[in-house]
Structure 1
Amino acid sequence: MTTTPSRTARWLYGSLGFLIVLVSWQVAAQFLFAEGATIPRPGQVFAQLLRDGWELYGPNIITTGREAAKGWLLGNAVAMLLALVVVQSATIERFAMRIAVAAYFLPVVVLAPILAILFTGDWPMVVIAAMTVFFPTLVLLLVGLKTAEASSLEVVRCCGGRRLTELRKVRLPASVPSLFTALRLAAPGAVLGAVIGEYGGAEKGLGVLMINAQQSLEVERTWGVAIVLAGLVGVAYGATVLTQRLVAPWSMESRHV
């Protein structure tokens, strides 16, 4: 029998972890990397964040967030549709998974400039964000669809139910915990994919802001952008967890991530 930490305990653990990271950062900046000035102190970074404010970060957060959201929706939608198709046939699954694995191992950093030539607007970033989330969602949803109990599937078959009935009545409900696990993992992946896409030649976004800060040797601002990105990832992940809590709270008991 396992016990789940209370919400207060989880909050305390998270706060303690944040404090440890902050202290380690201060020690590293003050004693280990003081000469090179490559790691600014936390106070310097947060002071720069306050100076830059929403005027600098706001439009870039909105741009990257919009790209990530579109990519998250597109990548997850395609992965879900493909999972629902391939779970019906082992032959189709083997063929589709080979293609999916090949697509997953494509170097997205190399693809970013190519997509910038092929597409206009924010589509290069959206496509890369979608590619980033597609494979994990496909795999986890397939795993969830296959966790359906054999006895339940047999009952449906004995009652004359077809594959579509099996899918709707048994496999889909069984896959909900795995689906939300995939969606939670996809949220940070979509943000990362959008930023990588911005490296390929976007006009605006947190990725562009970070590149400009690096090229201008603005160390504090570079670290500030990284913190903002981490915050955006946390918001995306938290929004997915909140959605699961509202839509399917029973599945929270089965979650592993």
Structure 2
Amino acid sequence: MTTPDGALALPAPAPLSGERPEWQRWALVVAVHLAGIALWELAVRVFAIQPFILPAPSKVLATLANPNYSWLKNTGVTALEVFGGYALGLVLGILCALLFITSKRLMLLVFPLLVTLNMIPKVAMGPLVIVWFSYGIGPNILITFSLCFFPILLTTIRGLNETEPELLDLVRALKGSRWQLFRYIQLPGSLPYVFSGMKVATILAVAGAVVGEFIASERGLGYLMIQVQASLDTPAVFMAVLLITGLGVLLYLLVLLLERLFITQDARIQ
């Protein structure tokens, strides 16, 4: 059968073998997590494991009803440290990458110093953070920032450098401005690398906030874990870990959403 213009009507391409719709992939992920929780509950009950060693998920969830833990307040503090430090690392990481790309001299002088500073263990900096900034949310945001900054900086620099020289020469030949060169060529080409660094930084952001609360904090989920650990309140420790994990997953999903909005699927770095 032919179309009115005489061209053959081709059938829609069939999906690749083994490729699942997106909603099925997400459903499978949720199902695997729920199955893991059910297996955890079953194992604790069957083997009669003591709660202070491995509490059942039901006992872990029961700790949410205890007002002494101030779950909402402590989760809010940790969330502020995670998202605040991450946002600061994202903004300054991209801005510094742009500065390094525009000035090779600055890249030569400052970038090696940043590499050396990044090698300093952040936990070892804890006592100095207390001396310089005392306790509080601010120092923990700085620790989170210090972990998130370098991966974003590094991947952004690489993305900006991956632009094809032929495209740059073409824009220059057409008398394009420096802003047009960045807006239409360098920025779109670097976005997959930027989001790759952002994904790595989500993991480091959660770790940075918790480390900061372990070292220098009077609030937050990390601080609460230290307090309840002394009394062998393992269910509360597990609940704090789950809430911290939830913050990390939320941040990662936010990055995935932004990546979906700004980058086509074929251009994403898996």
TM over 0.5: yes
Give the alignment of 1:143-162 within 5 angstroms.
Answer: 143-161=158-176
Q: What is the CA–CA distance in structure 2 between the aligned matches of 1:14 and 1:214, rounded to whole Å?
A: 31
Distance 1:10 1:92 in 2: 45
1:212 paired to 2:227? yes
List per-residue Cα deviations over 1:194-253 (Å, max 9, x = no partner): 11111112111111111111112101100110011111111112222233344x2x4444
Counterparts of 2:66 and 2:243 in 1: how far apart (Å)? 12
AA of the residue aligned to 1:43: S
The percentage of aligned residue pairs carrying the same residue is 28
8 Å CA contact 1:33, 1:39 repeated in 2 = no
Distance 2:189 2:173 in 1: 19
Residue 29 to residue 96, structure 1, CA distance change in 2 (3 Å): farther
- Alpha-carbon shift at residue 171 of structure 1 (Å): 0.9
Which stretches in structure 1 are left out of the alignment for 5+ residues?
Answer: none
Deviation at 1:172, TM superposition (A): 1.2
CA distance in 1 between counterparts of 2:126 and 2:46 reads 38
Q: What amino acid is aligned across from residue 228 of structure 1 in structure 2?
A: L
Q: Give the Cα–Cα distance (whole angstroms) in 2 for the partners of residues 66 and 41 of structure 1.
A: 29
CA displacement at 1:32 relative to structure 2: 7.4
Deviates more, 1:89-98 or 1:121-130: 89-98
Superposed, 1:72-91 pairs within 5 Å as 72-88=86-102
Distance 1:55 1:111 in 2: 29
In the other structure, the counterpart of 1:105 is 119
Aligned match for 2:58, one of 43, 48, 52: 43
2:237 paired residue number: 222
Residue 33 of structure 1, CA deviation:
8.9
Q: Unpaired segments of 5 or more residues in structure 2?
A: 1-14
Supply the distance in 2 between the matched residues of 1:194 and 1:11 (Cα, whole angstroms): 28
Q: Separation in 2 of the partners of 1:5 and 1:166? A: 39
Q: Does 1:167 align with 2:206?
A: no
Q: Distance in 2 between matches of 1:57 and 1:177?
A: 36
Provide the rounded CA distance (Å) in 2 between the counterparts of 1:161 and 1:54.
Answer: 63
From the superposition, tell whether residues 14 and 95 of structure 1 become closer, same or farther in structure 2 (CA, over 3 Å).
farther
| Number of aligned residues | 254
For 2:195, give the aligned amino acid: F
Is the contact made by 1:88 and 1:163 (CA closer than 8 Å) also made in structure 2? no
- Describe how 1:32-71 pairs up with structure 2 within 5 A: 34=49, 37-49=52-64, 51-52=65-66, 56-71=70-85
Instruction: Output the amino acid matched with 2:159.
Output: G
Q: Deviations over 1:19-38 (max 9, x none)?
A: 34324534664577936942
Shift of 1:255: 2.1
Aligned residues: CA RMSD:
2.8
Structure 1 residue 17: Cα displacement: 2.5
Structure 1 residues 230 and 154: alpha-carbon distance in aligned structure 2, compared to 1, 3 A threshold: same
Amino acid at match of 2:248: V
Say if 1:104 and 1:52 are closer, same or farther in 2 by CA, change over 3 A. Answer: farther
